[in-house]
Structure 1
Amino acid sequence: MLRLVRHVTAATITAASPPRVLQLSFHHPLSHLISSTTPNDSSSLTVYFLKKSCGLSSEAALSAASKIHLKTTKNPRFVLTLLERFGFSKPDITRIVSKRPQLLLASPDQTLQPKLDFYEGIGLSGADLARLLSRIPGLLLWSLEKRLLPNFDLLKAILHTNENVILAIKKCPRLLTSDLSNLLLPKLESLRDYGAPASVIFTLLITHPRSLIETADQFEKTFNAIKGMGMSPSTSMFAHALGVFAQLHKTTIERKLENYLSLGWSQEQVLEAFAKHPYCMTVSDEKVRRNMEFFAEKLKWGPAYVSANPVVLSLSFEKRIVARCSVLEMLASKGLVKGDVKARHLMMGEKNFIENYVIKYKGEVPEVVDAMGGNKLGLGGLKPGS
Structure 2
Amino acid sequence: MISKFPVVLLSNPDQTLEPKIQYLKQVGFSDTDICQFLTKCCNILHSSLEYTIIPCFQLLKTLLPREENVNDNFSDAVKEVLEIGFDPSSKMFVYAVRDVSSVCKAKREVKMGIFRSFGWSDEEIRLAIRQQPKCIAISEEKLRIGLDFFMNGKNWEAERLAKNSTVLPSYLVMFTLAGQRALAVLAGTLCCSGNSKLHNIPNVSDIRTMILVLESLGVEVDVYNGEVTVDTQAM
Interval containing the TM-score (normalised by the shorter chain): 0.3 to 0.5
In terms of fraction of residues, the more strand-rich structure is 2
Whichever of the two has the greater Rg, that structure is 1
Q: TM-score, normalised by structure 2?
A: 0.48
